[in-house]
Amino acid sequence: MKALDDSSYDAARESMVREQIAARGVRDPRVIEAMRQVPRHLFVPAADRDRAYADSPVPIGEGQTISQPYIVALMTELVRPKSGDRALEVGTGSGYQAAVLSRLVAHVYTIELEETLGRRATTVLREQKYDNVTVRIGDGYAGWPEHAPFDIIMVTAAPEQVPQPLIDQLKPGGRLVVPVGPRFTVQTLQLIEKDASGTVRTRNVSPVMFVPLRRP
């Protein structure tokens, strides 16, 4: 397969933002700008690079996928990122979602169960100078208590129920986005918000399909 040159990737990314993201209702200008900046093709395996800007998930090895661009943008908009926020991501995968979020917050902590993927994401993020992202290999069901509480938590694999440690590690005023439901079928993307008094409210946003959040 002939690799595209850099300017073709840039053009493909512009079309992606226009046709898949802005056209479908993502409005936050900071989110749109982050999607425009982060070179998604560098986060997918070299053999699949030419599909990086397609309107679909892309395989990243170990049976896992990098989410469809629209879903990355939607989830990023839902958590309402602010420049001083501290964020946790569960399911680093390729590192792409962490890279997008890192453009919008102070720091992203991200956890990946699969060692191969976690190592590869660490390398790509380092090479691309995403210096405000910290990757850890481990089990995201437990969150990351050493760095809690978080303004934002994004879960990019589907648990059957929302892990309680993640709700506990959300700050008052914090936003948690998570696909919840049975394995290998349609799940519900939920936005869970904790108000200043600690009360938790859940809103069902849309049907989605994610790989399962696995137990180690």
Which residues are catalytic, by number? 67
Least gap, CB of 140 to ligand SAH (angstroms): 3
- Nearer to ligand SAH by Cβ, of 130 and 141: the residue is 141
- Nearer to ligand SAH by Cβ, of 90 and 192: the residue is 90
Least gap, CB of 43 to ligand SAH (angstroms): 6
Pairing verdict, β 133-137 and 107-112: parallel
Tokens representing 121 are 């994401």
For residue 4, which amino acid is it?
A: L
For residue 127, which amino acid is it?
A: E
The number of residues in the chain equals 216
Question: What are the backbone dihedrals phi and psi of residue 95, each rounded to the nearest 5 degrees, phi first?
Answer: 95, -5
Q: How far apart are CA 59 and CA 101, in angstroms?
A: 21
Sign of CA dihedral 173, 177, 178, 179: positive
- Nearer to ligand SAH by Cβ, of 122 and 156: the residue is 156
- Nearer to ligand SAH by Cβ, of 178 and 192: the residue is 178
Q: How far apart are CA 164 and CA 100, in angstroms?
A: 26
Least gap, CB of 131 to ligand SAH (angstroms): 18
Least gap, CB of 77 to ligand SAH (angstroms): 15
**147 to 26, 86, 101, 108: CA distances (angstroms):** 30, 9, 17, 10
Residues that bind ligand SAH (CB under 6 A): 60, 64-67, 90-91, 93-94, 96-97, 111-114, 117, 139-141, 156-157, 211, 213-214
Least gap, CB of 91 to ligand SAH (angstroms): 3
- Nearer to ligand SAH by Cβ, of 179 and 199: the residue is 179
Cis amide linkage into residue 149, ω under 30° from 0: yes
Q: How far apart are CA 22 and CA 198, in angstroms?
A: 33
